[in-house]
Amino acid sequence: MAPAETVQIPFLTAAEALTPKLSYTEERPKDVVTFVPDDKAFLRHTKVVQYNASRLEDKWFSSGDEFIVDFGGHRTGYLSFYLDAQGENVDCPARLRLTFGEVPGDVVEDFYPSKSWISTSWFPHEEAKIDELPGQVNIPRRHAFRYVRVQVLEVSSKFKICFRKIKCYAVTSACKKVAPVEGCDFNLIDTVGLRTLRDCMQTVFEDGPRRDRRLWLGDLRLQALVNYVTFQNNDLVKRCLYLFAGLRMDQKVMASLYERPEPRVSGDYILDYELLFVVTLLEYVEATNDISTGRELFGICQNILERNHQEYIKDGIFQMKPGVWYFIDWHDDLDRFASMQAVFVIAFKAAQSLANKLDIGVDYTEDIRLLSEGSLALYDEDKGIFLSNGQISWASQAWMGLAHVLPQEQHVRAIQIAMQNPNAIRANTPYCYHYVLEALFKNGARDACLALAKDYFGGMVDRGADTYWEAYREDDSTFSPYDDHHNNSFCHAWSCTVSWFLRL
Amino acid sequence: MAPAETVQIPFLTAAEALTPKLSYTEERPKDVVTFVPDDKAFLRHTKVVQYNASRLEDKWFSSGDEFIVDFGGHRTGYLSFYLDAQGENVDCPARLRLTFGEVPGDVVEDFYPSKSWISTSWFPHEEAKIDELPGQVNIPRRHAFRYVRVQVLEVSSKFKICFRKIKCYAVTSACKKVAPVEGCDFNLIDTVGLRTLRDCMQTVFEDGPRRDRRLWLGDLRLQALVNYVTFQNNDLVKRCLYLFAGLRMDQKVMASLYERPEPRVSGDYILDYELLFVVTLLEYVEATNDISTGRELFGICQNILERNHQEYIKDGIFQMKPGVWYFIDWHDDLDRFASMQAVFVIAFKAAQSLANKLDIGVDYTEDIRLLSEGSLALYDEDKGIFLSNGQISWASQAWMGLAHVLPQEQHVRAIQIAMQNPNAIRANTPYCYHYVLEALFKNGARDACLALAKDYFGGMVDRGADTYWEAYREDDSTFSPYDDHHNNSFCHAWSCTVSWFLRL
C-alpha cells in the first residue's frame, strides 16, 4: 500500500492564517564588475570594479555584449530594469540571458557539463525575450543573488539597448531591525548571519532562497533559534510547526515540505529531523510561552517518540536500519550510529521538559535512563571520546554532548580530542558545525565555542561570504554535497547560528 | 539636423479610440506528431502522426524527452498547459524549451548558426523555467504557430512531468463569420487566405503575427482590400490610417510603425508605400463612404504627392535617387524605375478620384498627363512590354497595368509576354504577385487572373501552406529575403488577397 498522506486540515488552516506579509525593499546595484581568475583567492576569482553602476545609464549594448552588476550584498528578490532601445530601427525582440550569482563562480564559470546528482535545473540562469522595446522588464521569477550577469544574446544590428534603473525588489518576512551585539568584535560575522537568515525568511523559513527554497525541519530548528533572539517573527515558527503537523505521511513528520502551489510534503523522510520536531516545539514554547500551541502539538511529539522507539530502539540501543535517511551531516564516510543514539536521548529529554512545562502527565524517565545507558556504552573511557562503530567523528561527540550523558567537562573534552585528531571525521557543513558549537556552549565552554565560531564563520567571511554557505570546507572551495559546487546554496539558513551564540 | 517626428496628437487620439476588442478562442491540439525528412516534399519533411493529443494526459516525461503537438491549423495566440508532476519527490524547477512552428522546418531544423541579416532574435523559441509544480503554466508571449515542440531540458530524476490541457488561446480582431464564396472550386484556397488575414488582424493589421508583428503601409492596403469583402472590421483600417497620419517624420508617412509600448514609427521609409497611402485612403472612403475621415486625411495625401513630385519627378519622369528604399518586391536584381514611375501615376489618379469624391477642388490632370506620357516612353511597341532601364520584369508590367496608360488589352498582353519570358525578372513574393494579378483583373482579364491565382495560391496550399507565406518560389522552399528561411514569416497578410479576387 502506498503511504497515506495524513492531512490535518485544522493545522493547515492555522498555518494559512499565519502567512506573513512580506516586505519589499528597492535595492540598486553598486558597481559593474569583472572577475579575474585568481589561484590565491578562496573563491577562485578576484573582483575588479569597472565603473559605478549608475553609469550604465550611458552604456549601449549590442549582440554579444555583456556585463556583471554587483549589488554590493546578497538579497532575495526580483530583478527589474527599464530596457531602453535606440537606433535606426528598434525592429526585433531582445533575447537576453540572465545569470544570478551568489558567489563569483556563478557568473563566470560554465555550468555545463555538470556532474551534479541533483537537478541542474537549479542553476541560476534564465533566458528572457523582450518583445516590446523600449519598456519595463520585470523578471517574474524570484532569485537569490549579489551579482547579475547580463548577456545580450540577440538584438538586431539596427539598434542598441541600454539597461536603465536596474533594481532588485528585495523580499523578506524578517522586518524587525536587529540591534548589533554590544561590545563585541564579531560585528561583521553577526551581520552576515543576520543577512543570511533575513534572505531565507520568506513565507516559511526556507533552507536557501536559491535552492531548495523549501522548509526543512532540521533547518527550521536552527533558524527558529536565531529568530527568537533577532527578528522575532515567532508566528513564522508557529506557522512552520503547523505545516509540518498538518502534512504527515503514515503519521510521520516528514523532513521537508513545499508551500506552493499548495502545501505538500516532499518525499523526504529523515529520522533525526523528525526527532528534532520535539526539540523545536519545546524551544518554541520556551521562547513564546505559547502553551496552547504546545498542547495542540504535543500529541504529535508523543507519536514521534513512541513510534520511533518501538521501531528503532532495542534495550536502550539504537538499531540502524537500511534504507532510512539519517542526516547528521553531508558526509559520505560518517558513521551515524552514535549520533542517532544521542538524538533519541535529546528528543526524549525535550519531550519530558515540554510535558512538564505544559503540565501534561507523561513520564519518559525510564526511557531516558535506558537510552542514556546505551549512549554511555559507546564512550571509550581511555580515549575520552564516543566511538560510533569504532569511528571517531566530531558529530558523535557533538550530539552526545547535547544528550548530556556525562559531566559537562567530559563532553567538552571529547569534542576537543576529536577535533584535534586529524583522522577524525570532521564537519562538512555549518549544520554539523553548529551542533559542535552548541554542545560546547551547552556544556559550559562558552569561550571555546565563541573562539571556534569566530574562527569558522569569520573564516567564511574572510574568504568572501556575504551570506553563510550551505557547505564549507576551509581547504576546498569547490566541495559540494551534490558533486558540483554550482548547485550549492550560498545563502543557507542552517549556517546562520553564530548570531544566536553571540546573543546567549 | 535629425529628422523630426511629426506627432499629431488628435490623429493618435482618434486611433486610440478605435482600438478593437480582441476575441479569444480556446484551441486544443489535434495530434502528437513527428517529421520525417523527405526530399520529395516541398517543405522537406513529411508529417507522421504518433497519437492523438488527448493521450498526452497519460504520458510522463523526463529530462531529454520531447514531443511535437500539431494544432491542426495555424493560430496566433498564447500557449498554456497544466504541468503536472509526480514521483518520489518533485524537488526542483522544470526547465523547458518551447519552439513554435508555422511550418515543419521550424520545429525540426536547427536555427543556429544562421546567415540571416535580420535579427535571429525572431527565431520562435524560448525557455521556460517553472518553479511551482504541479501548476498552471501560461506562456506570456504571443506566438504564431501550428506546431509546438516541447523539450524537457532539465528536471530531476525523482519525478516526471505530464503536460495536461495544452491549449492555445487564439486571438484576433477578425470576429465576423465570413461566408464561403458560392459555387467555386477555390474553397480551400480561400480558407487559407481568410485564416491568414484573421491571424494577422490584431489591434492593427500586422504584416505577420510572428515577424514583424508590425503595421506596414504596403501590407495595409492589401489587408484592407480583403477586409472590406470579408471580416469588414473597417474601423481597424481607419485606426491604421490615423496611426500613420499621426506619426510622420519630416512630414513623411513612414513605411511601418509599432503600437507598443506606445505608437511610434520605425526608421523605415519606402517611397512606393508612402504613395500607396493615397490609394489606401481612397479605397477606404469607397468602401465605407466615410467622407469625414477622407477629408481629415486628404491634406496628408496632397502633401505626399506634392512633396514627392517636387523631389522625384522631372519633366514627368521619375528620378531614381540613391539611398532611398523603393520596395516593389524582395528581389535583388529587380530594376524598380518603371514600377516607381507607374506608382506615381497611380497615386495621382487616386488623389484626383478621392478629391472628386470628397468634393475638394484640386486638379492633378496636368500632372497625370505628364506622368502618363513619361510612362509611355518606357513602353517598347515592338516587344509589347515596358522596359525598366532595359530590363523586363513582371513588376514593371503590373504597376504600369494599374497606372492604365495603355488600352486594357495591351496591358494584359504586356503582363503575359513578360511572364512567358524565362529571362524576365519574376515575382519573389505574393506581394508582387498580387500586383500582377490585380493588373490582370483591373484590365478585364478576370479569368486569367483567377487561373493564375489558383495556380499560385493553390500551389502554395498543395505544398503545405496552412496560411500564406511571406515569400514563395515554387522552385525553392528555402528561398528567403533574409538569407535564412527560418526568419521568413509563414502567415503573412500581404499574401491573402486571393480571398479578395474571389469576391470581386
Compute the nearest-CA separation of A122 from chain B (Å).
Answer: 7
Contacts of A213 in chain B (CB under 8 A): 131
> Tell me: the pLDDT tens digits for A281-313?
999 999 999 999 999 999 999 999 999 999 999
* Interval B206-212 mean pLDDT: 97
> Tell me: the pLDDT tens digits for B100-119?
999 999 999 999 999 999 99
Best B62, B92, B142, B482 residue to mutate vs chain A (most A CBs within 10 Å): B92
C-alpha dist (Å) from residue A42 to A105, A156, A188, A193, B454: 11, 40, 19, 20, 72
Whether B177 and chain A come into contact, CB under 8 Å, resolves to: no
DSSP3 helix / strand / coil % (chain B, rounded to 5): 40, 25, 35
Contacts of B126 in chain A (CB under 8 A): 127, 129
Q: Is the pLDDT of residue B185 over 80?
A: no
Q: Are strands B313-314 and B317-318 parallel, antiparallel or unpaired?
A: antiparallel
C-alpha dist (Å) from residue B329 to A175, A291, A382, B449: 63, 82, 96, 19
Which secondary structure element, helix H or strand E, spans residue B160, and what is its range? strand B159-172
Of A93, A132, A266, the CB nearest to B122: A93
> Residues of A173-204 as b/e, b for ≥16 C-beta within 10 angstroms?
bbeeebeebeeeebeebbbbbbbbbbbbbbbb
Whether B113 and chain A come into contact, CB under 8 Å, resolves to: no
What ipTM describes this predicted complex?
Answer: 0.93
C-alpha dist (Å) from residue A300 to A250, A263, A273, A342, B234: 12, 19, 14, 20, 70
Contact (Cβ atoms closer than 8 angstroms) between residue A224 and residue A255: no
Q: What residue ranges of chain B are covered by domains with CATH 1.50.10.10?
A: 187-501
Nine-digit cell string for A250: 503514515
* Interval A311-331 mean pLDDT: 97
Q: What whole-number distance in Å separates Cα of residue B460 and Cα of residue A468?
A: 63
Contact B121 A94 (CB under 8 A): yes
Compute the nearest-CA separation of B129 from chain A (Å).
Answer: 7
Contact B127 A122 (CB under 8 A): no
Backbone angles phi, psi at A344, to 5 degrees: -60, -45
> Tell me: the pLDDT tens digits for A405-453?
999 999 999 999 999 999 999 999 999 999 999 999 999 999 999 999 9
Whether A483 and chain B come into contact, CB under 8 Å, resolves to: no
Q: What whole-number distance in Å separates Cα of residue A89 and Cα of residue B266?
A: 5
Which secondary structure element, helix H or strand E, spans residue A50, and what is its range? strand A45-52
> Residues of A230-254 as b/e, b for ≥16 C-beta within 10 angstroms?
bbbbbebbbbbbbbbbbbbbeebbb
Contact A119 B157 (CB under 8 A): yes
* Interval A155-183 mean pLDDT: 95
Q: What whole-number distance in Å separates Cα of residue B342 and Cα of residue B267?
A: 25
Q: What whole-number distance in Å separates Cα of residue B110 and Cα of residue B112?
A: 6
Residue with cell 477642388: B361
Of B94, B134, B261, the CB nearest to A132: B261
Amino acid residing at B95: R
**Tally of residues, chain B:** 504
- Cβ contacts from A onto B, under 8 A: 101
* Interval A150-163 mean pLDDT: 97
Nine-digit cell string for A403: 544528550
Three-state secondary-structure class, residue A413: helix
Q: Is the pLDDT of residue A3 over 60?
A: no
> Residues of A28-53 as b/e, b for ≥16 C-beta within 10 angstroms?
ebbbbbebeeeeebbbbbebeeeeeb
Whether A436 and chain B come into contact, CB under 8 Å, resolves to: no
Q: CA dihedral in degrees (A478, A482, A484, A488; nearest 10)?
A: -70
* Interval B226-241 mean pLDDT: 98
**Residues of A (56-95) whose Cβ lies below 8 Å from B:** 63, 87-95
Q: What proportion of chain B, given as a percentage, has pLDDT over 90? A: 94
Q: What whole-number distance in Å separates Cα of residue A468 and Cα of residue A460?
A: 7
Tell me the pLDDT band of B2, cut-offs 50, 70 and 90: very low
Tell the burial category of B286 from Cβ atoms under 10 Å away from its Cβ (0-12, 13-18, 19+).
middle
Going B57 to B60 to B63 to B67, the CA torsion angle's sign is negative
Tell me the pLDDT band of B1, cut-offs 50, 70 and 90: very low
**Cα-based angle B217, A94, B196 (whole degrees, multiple of 5):** 40
Compute the nearest-CA separation of B156 from chain A (Å).
Answer: 4
A424 Cβ neighbours under 8 A, 6+ residues apart = A392, A393, A394, A418
Tell me the pLDDT band of A500, cut-offs 50, 70 and 90: very high
Residue with cell 540591534: A179
Whether A122 and chain B come into contact, CB under 8 Å, resolves to: yes
Packing angle, helices A217-228 and A187-200, rounded to 10: 130
Mean model confidence pLDDT for chain B: 96
**Strand partners of residue A70:** A31, A147
Residue B37: how many other CB atoms lie within 10 Å = 11
Q: What is the pLDDT of residue A436?
A: 98
Contact B154 A119 (CB under 8 A): yes
Nine-digit cell string for A319: 538499531
**Strand partners of residue B148:** B69, B100
CATH 1.50.10.10 holds for B187-501: yes
Alpha helices in B313-421 (DSSP H): 337-358, 365-376, 394-403, 408-420
Contact (Cβ atoms closer than 8 angstroms) between residue B222 and residue B434: yes
> Tell me: the pLDDT tens digits for B383-412?
999 999 999 999 999 999 999 999 999 999
> Tell me: the pLDDT tens digits for B292-308?
999 999 999 999 999 99
> Tell me: the pLDDT tens digits for A52-65?
999 999 999 999 99
Mean model confidence pLDDT for chain A: 96
Nine-digit cell string for A466: 556575504
Amino acid residing at B82: Y
Contact (Cβ atoms closer than 8 angstroms) between residue B441 and residue B403: no
Q: What is the pLDDT of residue B161?
A: 98
Q: What is the pLDDT of residue A4?
A: 61
Q: Which CATH architecture has domain A24-171?
A: Sandwich (2.60)
Lowest mean pLDDT among A131-145, A255-269, A275-289, B454-468: A255-269
Three-state secondary-structure class, residue A72: strand
Contacts of A132 in chain B (CB under 8 A): 260-261
Nine-digit cell string for B350: 487616386
Of A133, A156, A211, the CB nearest to B118: A156
Tell me the pLDDT band of B450, cut-offs 50, 70 and 90: very high
Q: Which of B463, B374, B448 is nearest to B411 (CA)?
A: B448
Measured between its terminal Cα atoms, the distance across chain B in Å is 48
> Tell me: the pLDDT tens digits for B5-19?
677 889 999 999 999
Q: Is the pLDDT of residue A214 over 60?
A: yes
Q: What whole-number distance in Å separates Cα of residue A351 and Cα of residue A214?
A: 26
Q: Are strands A66-87 and A31-37 parallel, antiparallel or unpaired?
A: antiparallel
The secondary structure of B280-314 as a DSSP string is HHHHHHHHH--HHHHHHHHHHHHHHHHHHHHHHEE
Tell the burial category of B133 from Cβ atoms under 10 Å away from its Cβ (0-12, 13-18, 19+).
buried
CATH 2.60.120.260 holds for B26-171: yes
Q: What residue ranges of chain A are covered by domains with CATH 2.60.120?
A: 24-171
Q: What residue ranges of chain B are covered by domains with CATH 2.60.120.260?
A: 26-171
Best A62, A83, A91, A114 residue to mutate vs chain B (most B CBs within 10 Å): A91
Contact B129 A120 (CB under 8 A): no
Q: What is the pLDDT of residue B236?
A: 98
> Tell me: the pLDDT tens digits for B430-446?
999 999 999 999 999 99
Whether B260 and chain A come into contact, CB under 8 Å, resolves to: yes
Three-state secondary-structure class, residue A140: coil
> Tell me: the pLDDT tens digits for B55-68?
999 999 999 999 99
**Cα-based angle A287, A291, A293 (whole degrees, multiple of 5):** 95
Compute the nearest-CA separation of B340 from chain A (Å).
Answer: 25
Q: Is the pLDDT of residue A1 over 60?
A: no
Contacts of A153 in chain B (CB under 8 A): 121
Which secondary structure element, helix H or strand E, spans residue A348, and what is its range? helix A337-358
Indicate the DSSP class of residue A473: B
Q: Is the pLDDT of residue A133 over 50?
A: yes
Contacts of A127 in chain B (CB under 8 A): 126-127
> Tell me: the pLDDT tens digits for A338-382?
999 999 999 999 999 999 999 999 999 999 999 999 999 999 999
Compute the nearest-CA separation of A291 from chain B (Å).
Answer: 34
Of A121, A122, A131, the CB nearest to B141: A131
Q: Is the pLDDT of residue A6 over 90?
A: no
Max intra-chain CA distance, chain A: 84
Whether A265 and chain B come into contact, CB under 8 Å, resolves to: no
Contacts of B212 in chain A (CB under 8 A): 91-92
> Tell me: the pLDDT tens digits for A142-153?
999 999 999 999
Contact B91 A266 (CB under 8 A): yes
Q: What is the pLDDT of residue B436?
A: 98
> Tell me: the pLDDT tens digits for B24-71?
999 999 999 999 999 999 999 999 999 999 999 999 999 999 999 999
Amino acid residing at A64: G
Residue with cell 522631372: B314
Contact A94 B260 (CB under 8 A): no
Residue B252 CB-half CA count within 13 A: 22
> Tell me: the pLDDT tens digits for A440-496?
999 999 999 999 999 999 999 999 999 999 999 888 999 999 999 999 999 999 999
